[in-house]
Amino acid sequence: MILPKRVRRFSTLLAASAVLALSSPVFAQDISESHLKAARAAVAAIHATDSFDNILPQAAGALESQLIQKNPDMQELIGKTVTEKALGMASRRADLEKEAAMAYAKVFSEKDLNDIAAFYSSEAGKKLLDSGPAVTRDLVKAADIWQNGVARDLAQQVGETLAAAAKAKAPAAPAPAAAPADGSAPADNSAPADDSQN
């Protein structure tokens, strides 16, 4: 099962902070066996360490390629030796599970961990883990569309308000001079409104 990237990042960050906390003398509290058991169940239920499954195979593959480049005549022995040694180290995966359980136990109470394990072991929890990435992708698309619409409408509304304010501040254009009612020439010596000459 694939976890949403955010959950994986959170799990990784949590595990890393737990390693730091465990290596510090400040981590003096003892975690009960039942608390640790609940943490292991929660870690398993949410597949918190699944994203680390490829670390050993990738390291072995990279080492094999590097050694074969340096010693192409020993390709068969290198392949056999790297595989054998990597398989021998596979049991160390349990160390990661223990560290992950400790990280979760340090942050979550035993009850929280039991609740987490119960939910993610349920049909709804399994569906969330399975379908979560697809839902997240759809949500990101919807958020992008929403963001573009909000930004466009905000810019338009602010532009309209600023244009109205600028128009209101502009000096009024002088009104054309009106002809006197008696037909005499206006004060600026322009012709009377009826075009008669004085």
Q: How far apart are CA 11 and CA 48, in angstroms?
A: 6
pLDDT of residue 53: 93
For residue 39, give the nearest of 90, 115, 91, 92 by alpha carbon.
115
45 half-sphere exposure, CB direction, 13 A CA radius? 23
pLDDT in tens, 84-113: 999 999 999 999 999 999 999 999 999 999
- Select the more confidently predicted residue: 3 or 65: 65
Which candidate, 49, 60, 54, places its Cα nearest to that of 95? 49
Q: Which of 24-28, 101-105, 178-182 has the lowest mean pLDDT?
A: 24-28
- pLDDT tens per residue across span 34-62: 999 999 999 999 999 999 999 999 999 99
Residue 173's SS3 state is coil
Better pLDDT: 50 or 185: 50
